[in-house]
Copies of this chain bind each other. A is one copy, B any other.
Amino acid sequence: MKNQSEKTVKLRKDAEKIFRAGLAAVEPGAAIHKFCRRSNDTLHIGNKNYELSRFDRIHVIGAGKAAAPMATAIEEILGDKISDGVINVKYGYVSKPGKIKVIEAGHPVPDQNGKDGTESIMDIAESAGKNDLVICLISGGGSALLPLPAKGITLKDKQDTIKVLLSCGASIDEINSIRKHISRIKGGMLARTVYPAALVSLILSDVVGDDLDVIASGPSVPDSSTYEDCIEIIRHYEISDRLPEIVYSHICKGASGLISETPKPGDPVFEKTVDLIIGSNMEAILSAKKKAEGLGYNTIILSSMIEGETKHVARVHAAIAKEIRKTGNPLPAPACILSGGETTVTLTGNGRGGRNQEFSLAAAMDISRDKDIVVFSAGTDGTDGPTDAAGAVADTKTVKRALEKNADPRTFLSNNDSYNFFRVIDDLVFTGPTNTNVMDLRIILVA
């Protein structure tokens, strides 16, 4: 038996229930069914209605780790109304075969399968006429699973380009600007190809802030960056000599007007596009919140956009929990703090762990002088770093229990060995693969 108060035992059970409720809201099939409904000839997508009989054909395309269950759900809704379809998924992420062809491809490193699949997807987009509807299913991993470099550029050129940009310290926005300008599908290029058919993108967001132009590098949305911007970035970081020659010359040609720009805001190709986020970190948080309220907790959503170094982010969460205990701010106990997003771990050791396990470990150290606080952090995809755990749960006695087993939390934290820390005290959280990914979910309960 663990040395836990009755209250803590209940908090731990509640935290898991709240997490499960969050997960349920972003299960890909459930998310599709929540936003897409069919009644006879009418397809309701979000707050839009489509008369199916007005379309000559309906095509389904897409990519991402959750694309297969999303496609299954779309087939459940549209059945034989679907003319054809191709989606790219990560190796092993397939579902039972239907009308939509599922192509397994490389992730996170794109491969030839991915490129071949993306060409099939673009063939469908190209074939769609003005009385057609194209439904595009996008989820985490969509960018790597939709590799289609501009003419003459190989997958290797593209990877080398990203490596150069990462090593010179370019920001994620800068990297995305260049990525979009050396692709035939990203940065709104898919929308241009689909046009004049109608394009509805159903998106499961794995990106902090849910920016449509960032998710899968924005194949269906306007690109506000330009070839000129790319030249500026290359100049600023002085990397013209380090980029693959074909990439640099492509961008120079684009900036000289020899290659047409990605479609910009206001471009007519976006007149018939709709982008709908059907699952996101906030969707999971809102569902978790409802559950927490049902369990009797005063609940606060801190933010779905939390970033930063995990152990310090954890300290801020712990400080809020301690303040709840001490003064009832920002809300009175019994309280549930919810937050999401994706933090980072800067490795200083060679242990095993993940963001969520490290979060719970760091928080455990800060709450160890308090009582009846539970910290639960887990990845919604069911995997946390290179481990088989989704995350870990901690309470105010976690440090004490670990010390009794000669596990010093400071040593494990500085060695980034949160997995083995929580294994010692049997507090890892396992969910198995969830088929979804809307980043991480953190639940802090104060009795």
Chain A contact residues, CB within 8 Å of chain B: 169, 209, 282, 300-309, 311-313, 315-316, 319-320, 322-323, 326-327, 329-330, 341, 366, 410
| Among candidates B313, B320, B329, residue contacting A312 with C-beta atoms closer than 8 Å | B313
* CB atoms of A330 and B327 under 8 A apart: no
> Can you list 22 residue pairs at the A/B interface with Cβ under 8 Å?
A169-B410, A209-B326, A301-B327, A301-B330, A302-B316, A302-B323, A303-B319, A303-B320, A303-B323, A303-B329, A304-B323, A304-B327, A304-B329, A305-B323, A306-B316, A306-B319, A308-B316, A308-B319, A312-B312, A312-B313, A313-B315, A316-B316
* CB atoms of B300 and A319 under 8 A apart: no
- Looking at the assembled complex, report how far the CB atom of A300 sits from the nearest CB atom of chain B, in whole angstroms: 5
> For the complex formed by this chain, how many copies does it contain in all?
2
What B residues does A312 contact at CB under 8 A? 308-309, 312-313
| Among candidates B303, B327, B366, residue contacting A322 with C-beta atoms closer than 8 Å | B303
Alpha-carbon distance A307/B318, docked complex (angstroms): 9
What B residues does A306 contact at CB under 8 A? 315-316, 319
What B residues does A300 contact at CB under 8 A? 330
Closest Cβ neighbor of A366 among chain B residues: B307
* CB atoms of B322 and A305 under 8 A apart: yes
7 A-B pairs besides A301-B329, A308-B315 with CB distance below 8 A are A209-B322, A302-B316, A302-B323, A303-B323, A304-B323, A305-B319, A316-B316
Closest Cβ neighbor of A327 among chain B residues: B282
| Among candidates B323, B326, B330, B341, residue contacting A330 with C-beta atoms closer than 8 Å | B330
- Looking at the assembled complex, report how far the CB atom of A400 sits from the nearest CB atom of chain B, in whole angstroms: 14
- Looking at the assembled complex, report how far the CB atom of A370 sits from the nearest CB atom of chain B, in whole angstroms: 10
Among A302, A306, A313, A316, the one with the most B-chain Cβ atoms within 10 Å of its Cβ is A316
What B residues does A305 contact at CB under 8 A? 319, 322-323, 326
- Looking at the assembled complex, report how far the CB atom of A409 sits from the nearest CB atom of chain B, in whole angstroms: 11
What B residues does A366 contact at CB under 8 A? 307
What B residues does A319 contact at CB under 8 A? 302-303, 305-308, 341
What B residues does A322 contact at CB under 8 A? 209, 303, 305
Alpha-carbon distance A289/B169, docked complex (angstroms): 40
Identify the 4 closest CB pairs spanning chains A and B, nearest first: A312-B312, A308-B315, A308-B312, A303-B323
Closest Cβ neighbor of A330 among chain B residues: B300
Closest Cβ neighbor of A289 among chain B residues: B329
Alpha-carbon distance A304/B329, docked complex (angstroms): 9
Alpha-carbon distance A341/B316, docked complex (angstroms): 10
- Looking at the assembled complex, report how far the CB atom of A374 sits from the nearest CB atom of chain B, in whole angstroms: 17
- Looking at the assembled complex, report how far the CB atom of A329 sits from the nearest CB atom of chain B, in whole angstroms: 4
Alpha-carbon distance A409/B327, docked complex (angstroms): 37
What B residues does A341 contact at CB under 8 A? 319
* CB atoms of B315 and A302 under 8 A apart: no
- Looking at the assembled complex, report how far the CB atom of A345 sits from the nearest CB atom of chain B, in whole angstroms: 12
* CB atoms of A330 and B307 under 8 A apart: no
* CB atoms of B302 and A330 under 8 A apart: yes
What B residues does A307 contact at CB under 8 A? 315, 319, 366
- Looking at the assembled complex, report how far the CB atom of A74 sits from the nearest CB atom of chain B, in whole angstroms: 27
- Looking at the assembled complex, report how far the CB atom of A306 sits from the nearest CB atom of chain B, in whole angstroms: 5
What B residues does A327 contact at CB under 8 A? 282, 301, 304
Known interface pairs A169-B410, A313-B315, A315-B313; A320-B302 also in contact (CB < 8 Å) = yes
